Amino acid sequence: MDTVLNSDFDVKDWRAFDVERLLDKHNDKRLNAINLIVSENRMTRRATAPLASDIQARYAATFYAGTEPAQEIIDLTAALARKVFRARYANLSPISGNVALLSVVFALTKNGESVGRVPPFFPGGGYPLNYEAFDRQPLPLPFSEETWQLDLEKTLELLDREKPPLVILGSSIVTYPMPVREVADLVHNYGGVVAYDGSHTLGLIAGGQYQDPLVEGADILFGSTHKTFPGPQGGIILSNDEELMEEIDRYSNFTPLNGPTMICNPHLARIASTGIVLEETKWKEYADRVVRNSRAIAKVFLDNRIPMHGEQAENFSELTYCHQVVTGYDRDTSFRLRDLLYKHRINVDGFMRIGTSEITRLGYDEETAVKLAELCVQVIKEDVTGDVVREIDDLIRSHQEVVI
């Protein structure tokens, strides 16, 4: 469905525009189901509270009177972010991961320059930003569909030859860590910058479970705050490099008397909510459970001959190191199976990726994840009995509250 009102949709009586009814319908579809969407998560009641408070309609700039408490919220949340991500600098202004990415690109490249990136989707899985729309040229890094990783040798050869000023590692369809150290060593040698898109893995990085890009050589870590990071929709940029962050801040921080750049208002409510998430989440325990649950599901799928991306990777002992289990079905089959699972109240995306972040927050452990994977296999193989329906319903009813 388009994000704008379809011209064929005619509301003859505006009193029939019942948003509350539609929200109830949404809650029924999403909260009374098993959500395995890799790019979503569940928030606590405490973390969602600021989103419905008075601060959600207020501006942040000190130009306005009465913003002292808001400034304290921003400062405290930034301090928490620096602590959790072990970084010297944190910028909370981007209102999405996409805006965080654009802030980095505009700050560190010029018109016509190229940006090294993981190619989007198949083969690959990088974020499909339309660089050409912003007068930048994407430089696709060589990617192996067989191992579902960058071809490191060819990637280093390409970067050494082309020398793009900015290289962005990280991916939307991801199971393995990126070769940050090797890429950073080469890029830094010719004076370039390495940024890491942690939109999908940010919560796992916080928990020390996934790779730590800033330690491994990345100059910048950015991402969205609503995937493995279980917060509101928004963005964040982190770094240990003061000069780079000052340049990025020029594009992403609003100074009212000089005019806006990428962001006019950073949305105070989501910053307050992000601060609560940073403070309340048991990062290590949460991240560890997410990966354990992913591996439990991956093993069941592999044992049942479900095709998986990365099966031929010999340099890693596990099929996944994060929240994603990525099946290897073709596009038409993936969409058909997505719709089939949806009929049985299991939500996945059109790539048939299985995400474990939300179910982990709701208390799934490895044993429960195995049971869920077995139920998914039965649905995929169209072997659905009354017991399968009852067991899915039992899982939904027994996992309704955030417990970690």
10 pLDDT exceeds 70?
no
The residue-averaged pLDDT of 303-320 equals 94
DSSP state of 142: P
* Alpha carbon 402 to its chain's center: 19
Cis amide bond preceding 123, omega within 30? yes
pTM of the entire predicted model:
0.95
User: Cα separation of 213 and 184, whole Å?
Assistant: 10
pLDDT at 6: 55
Q: What is the pLDDT of residues 74-110, one digit of tens each?
A: 999 999 999 999 999 999 999 999 999 999 999 999 9
pLDDT at 9: 56
* Alpha carbon 347 to its chain's center: 17
**For residue 124, what are the CA distances in angstroms to 39, 73, 174, 290, 375?**
17, 39, 9, 23, 29
Q: Give the pLDDT band of residue 2 (cuts 50, 70, 90).
A: very low
Q: What is the pLDDT of residues 117-161, one digit of tens each?
A: 999 988 899 999 999 999 999 999 999 999 999 999 999 999 999
Where in the chain are the domains? 48-280, 282-398
Q: What is the pLDDT of residues 360-396, one digit of tens each?
A: 999 999 999 999 999 999 999 999 999 999 999 999 9
Instruction: Choose the weakest-confidence range: 192-196, 264-268, 363-367.
Output: 264-268
pLDDT at 13: 61
3 pLDDT exceeds 70?
no
Q: Give the pLDDT band of residue 62 (cuts 50, 70, 90).
A: confident
Other C-beta atoms closer than 10 Å to the C-beta of 382 total: 8
pLDDT at 8: 57
The residue-averaged pLDDT of 208-237 equals 98
Question: Which one, of 341, 340, 345, 343, lies nearest residue 33 by Cα?
Answer: 345
**For residue 307, what are the CA distances in angstroms to 258, 325, 328?**
54, 11, 5
Tokens read off for 77: 């949340």
- Please tell me the number of Cα atoms within 13 Å of 79 on its side-chain side: 6
Q: With respect to CATH, is domain 282-398 assigned 3.90.1150.10?
A: yes
The residues that bridge with 308 in the sheet, in sequence order, are 327
- The three-class DSSP label of residue 222 is strand
Q: CATH number of the domain at 48-280, out of 3.40.640.10, 3.30.230.30, 3.40.50.2300, 2.60.40.1730?
A: 3.40.640.10
pLDDT at 12: 60
259 pLDDT exceeds 90?
no
